[in-house]
Amino acid sequence: MKNQRQVNIKAYRPGNGFILNYQRLVKEAVIPYQYEVLHDRADGAEKSGVIENFKNAAAVLRGEKPSGDFYGMVFQDSDAAKWIEAAAFSLAIFPDEELEKRADELIELIASAQDEDGYLNTRFTISDKDKRWTNLLEGHELYCSGHFMEAAVAYFEATGKRRLLDVMEKNAEHIYEHFIENKHRGFPGHPEVELALLKMYRATGNKHCLELAEHFLDERGSDKDFYKDEAAARDWTVWGNNAEDGYYQQSYAPVREQADAVGHAVRAVYLYTGMADLASVTGDEGLLKACGRLWESIVGRRMYITGGIGSTGIGEAFTVDYDLPNDTAYAESCASVGLMMFASRMLEICPEGKYADIMERAFYNTVLGGMQLDGKKFFYVNPLEVLPGISGCAATHWHDKPERSAWYACACCPPNIARTISSIGKYAYGESEEACYCHLYAAGEVCFDNGMKIKCETEYPYGFKIRYEIIKGGKVLAVRIPEWSEYVKFGKNDEEFSPVMKNGYAYFEGVCEGDIIEIRLDDRGKFVYPSAKIAENTGCVAIERGPLVYCAEAIDNGGDVLSLRADDGSEIVVSEFQPNLLGGTVTLSFGGFRVSGQDSLYSYKKPEETPCGITAVPYYTWGNRGLGEMRVWIGRK
C-alpha cells in the first residue's frame, strides 16, 4: 500500500514558539537529568541501576564476576533505550557533539552486553540464563528488544551511525531463529516489539523483521492456552500474573476479531499501533477493520477528555464503557503516548482529521501534563481531580499522587514523554504521493521528500492564526482543521480563499513558491458537557480553549475548589497571554457560585450560594505551584 507516512526525522526544524520551547527544555534539562538518573547520580531520584546492569551483564559475558545483582524492574533496560531515542530525536534538531558522544558510549556499553547469539537482556544475562524465553507473559524480553529497535532506528536516522542498528538486527535474527526457525510457541506479554520490528523493516529492508511482526500479531489470541501452558512448565514468576486472563493481555481473541479496548492500557495501544502499522504495510483489511473498531471503543466510550486512557489502577487498565472516574483515574502518561502512536498509524492509512484531533488532545493535555514545567519531575498517573489528604493517601486513591515525583522505580513514563516531545515533528507532518500533510500546528520549517518546503508561523496553542509560507512549491498542501473549531477563515496571498474540504482537512492545490496561506481558528473558551452515560460527571461541566483542557486549582480560587459551582450561562473571559505565569499561559475566567453553610457531615439546611468568579488554567500546567486541590469537571449551577 502507498499511504500517507510520517516525515523523516530530520525533515522538521522547529521555529520560535511553544514546540521549540519544549524541545529546548528536553535538550537542556530533561535529557541531561535523565542521563544522571540512569547513572544513579541524580539527587532525590529513585535508584535506576540501568548503567550498572549493562556493566554487570558485560562482565558476565567476559567470564568475570559482576559487581552486583540485577537491579530494578524486569524491563529496566528499556529506560536506556528510550533515553537514546530521545537523544536521537534531539540530535536531529540540535546537533550536539557532547550528547552524541554520550549516546555513542552508552551504545557501546549496550553492545558489550549482547551475547554471541544475539540475545540482549541484562536481567537474564546477569542471572538465570536458563530462564531465557520461558516467561513471555512477564519477562519483558521482547518488550525491551522492541524499545532498543526503536532507539536503533531513530539513532541511525539522526546520525547515520549503524552500531546500535547492527546490534538490534542481530538481536532480531536471534528472535527469528527462536520463534520462526525453531518454532517455539509464544507472543509478547507486553506488546511493543511488533511496532518496533516494522520500524526495523523499513530501516533495513530485512524481511525477517516484517515476518516476525506478522507472526507475533497472528499468534496473539489464536493460541489461547499458551500462557497457561507456559506457566505450568515453569516454577517461577515475576509478579504472579494470571496466565488465564486473556483480557488483561489482549489475547482473549485473535487480533482481527477484537472489538473492545480491554486490559492494560499501554499494552493495548502499543498492540493496536503494531496492528495498524502492519495493515499499512500489507493492506490487511481484517487488521484495518479491527483497528477501526478498537479506535471507536477508546475514543467513543473509554477515553478521558484530556486524552487519558485507562480508568483503573487495578491492572493499569481499561474497564467498561463510560466508566471514567476522575479522582481514581489511572490515565498513565505512557498510555497517552501510545494513543498518539496509534492515532499516527491510523493517519497513515486514512488521513482523517479525527485521528489527528485525538493525537493533539493527548499531547497537549496528558503527555505534557505528565512532566513538570522545569522538566525535573513527572506524573506516572494523571487524575482529573486531586484532593490532598485523599489523593495519594486513601487506599483507593494511592496511585493518584497530588505532586509529581523526581523518578519512579517503574520509570517508563519520563523517558517516554521526552522522546515524544523531541519527535513531535514526525507526528505533526506527513506526506503521500498526492499531498503534504499538516496534522498538527507546529511552527518551523518542513522539507518533504517530494521537494515541497514550507515554513509555519504560529503562536499555537495560545494563538489561533496559522501562517504557511511556501518556500518550494508542490502539488497539494493538506491542513487539518480541528473539530473543536466551530468557525475557520482561510486566506491565500491576502485574499479570502475556499479550499476543498475532505475528512477534516483543507486541501490547497497547486501551491507555488512564495504563496502565503493563512488560517484563523476559533479562539473562544467553551463549556464542554459530558455524556449522560458518564455517571461520575453528572451535572458537571469542563472548560476548553482550542486543544487545551482547563482545570480549576485551589491557588487561583481562594484555596478551595470543592465548593465551586460553574455558571455555564456566563461568559468565558480569555486573559491576555501571561508570560510569567506557569511558563507562559492564558487563563480563563467565568462566573460561578461558592456553596457554604454546611458544617455537619449531612444537613437538612440548604447550602448558601455566594456568587464568585472562577479561574482556570491549562490542565498540563497544574501542580506546578505547590500542593492544592484541582478539578477538571466542575459542578454546574
pLDDT tens, 109-135? 999 999 999 999 999 999 889 999 999
d(CA 454, CA 434): 16
Among the listed residues 116, 125, 221, 200, the one whose alpha carbon sits nearest the alpha carbon of residue 156: 200
Instruction: Label each residue of 249-274 as H, E or C.
Output: CCCCCCHHHCCCCCCEHHHHHHHHHH
pLDDT tens, 272-325? 999 999 999 999 999 999 999 999 999 999 999 999 999 999 999 999 999 999
Contacts of 126 (CB under 8 A, 6+ apart): 53, 56, 57, 60, 66, 69, 70
- 409 falls in which pLDDT band (50, 70, 90)? low
d(CA 354, CA 483): 8
pLDDT over 50 at 213, yes or no: yes
d(CA 592, CA 263): 39
Identify whether the C-beta of residue 374 lies closer than 8 Å to the C-beta of residue 629. Answer: no
pLDDT over 50 at 1, yes or no: no
C-alpha distance from residue 250 to each of 244, 245, 262, 276, 286 (Å): 11, 9, 7, 15, 17
What does the CA dihedral 620, 624, 629, 631 come to, rounded to 10 degrees? -10
Mean pLDDT of 96-121: 98
Tell me if residue 316 is catalytic.
yes
**Which residue among the candidates 412, 447, 540, 551 is catalytic per the annotation?**
412
Mean pLDDT of the residues in the chain: 95
Helix (H) or strand (E) holding 164: helix 163-176
Contacts of 573 (CB under 8 A, 6+ apart): 525, 588, 589, 590
Q: Is the peptide bond before 461 cis (omega within 30 degrees of 0)?
A: yes
Q: Is 305 helix (H, G, I), strand (E, B) or coil?
A: coil
Angle at 185 between CA 124 and CA 74, to 5 degrees: 25
Q: How many residues does the chain have?
A: 637
Strands 476-480 and 436-438: parallel
* pLDDT of the residue at 415: 84
Mean pLDDT of 459-477: 95
pLDDT over 90 at 380, yes or no: no
Q: Domains along the chain?
A: 432-521 (2.60.40), 526-635 (no CATH)
C-alpha distance from residue 338 to each of 43, 196, 343, 358, 417 (Å): 30, 13, 9, 12, 11
Sign of CA dihedral 114, 120, 122, 126: negative
- 475 falls in which pLDDT band (50, 70, 90)? confident
Report the share of the chain in percent with pLDDT over 70. 99
* Residue pointed to by grid coordinates 493527548: 362
DSSP state of 127: S
Query: What are the phi and psi torsion angles at 480 (to 5°)?
Result: -70, 140
Among the listed residues 394, 408, 269, 373, the one whose alpha carbon sits nearest the alpha carbon of residue 327: 394
Mean pLDDT of 382-386: 96
Tell me if residue 412 is catalytic.
yes
* Residue pointed to by grid coordinates 493533539: 360
Contacts of 463 (CB under 8 A, 6+ apart): none
Identify whether the C-beta of residue 477 lies closer than 8 Å to the C-beta of residue 438. Answer: yes
pLDDT tens, 518-553? 999 999 999 999 999 999 999 999 999 999 999 999
Burial string for 28-51 (b: 16+ CB within 10 Å, else e) reads: ebbbbbbbebbeeebeebbebbbb
| 498's grid cell | 475556499
DSSP state of 615: E
Mean pLDDT of 133-160: 97
| 332's grid cell | 498513565
pLDDT over 70 at 411, yes or no: no
d(CA 533, CA 259): 20
DSSP state of 585: B
Identify whether the C-beta of residue 560 lies closer than 8 Å to the C-beta of residue 629. Answer: yes
Count Cβ atoms below 10 Å from residue 496 Cβ, excluding itself.
9
d(CA 569, CA 637): 9
Number of alpha carbons in the 13 Å side-chain half-sphere of residue 531: 13
Mean pLDDT of 254-258: 97
* pLDDT of the residue at 406: 81
| 614's grid cell | 472562577
d(CA 270, CA 266): 6
- Whole-model pTM: value is 0.97
* pLDDT of the residue at 614: 98
Q: Which amino acid is at 404?
A: R
Strand partners, 453: 447, 472
- 62 falls in which pLDDT band (50, 70, 90)? very high
Helix (H) or strand (E) holding 102: helix 97-112
Query: What are the phi and psi torsion angles at 45 (to 5°)?
Result: -100, 150
**Which residue among the candidates 230, 316, 360, 431 is catalytic per the annotation?**
316
| 225's grid cell | 492456552
Sign of CA dihedral 240, 246, 247, 251: positive
Number of alpha carbons in the 13 Å side-chain half-sphere of residue 217: 34
Count Cβ atoms below 10 Å from residue 103 Cβ, excluding itself.
27
Q: Which amino acid is at 290?
A: A
Identify whether the C-beta of residue 567 lies closer than 8 Å to the C-beta of residue 590. Answer: yes
Q: Is 259 helix (H, G, I), strand (E, B) or coil?
A: coil
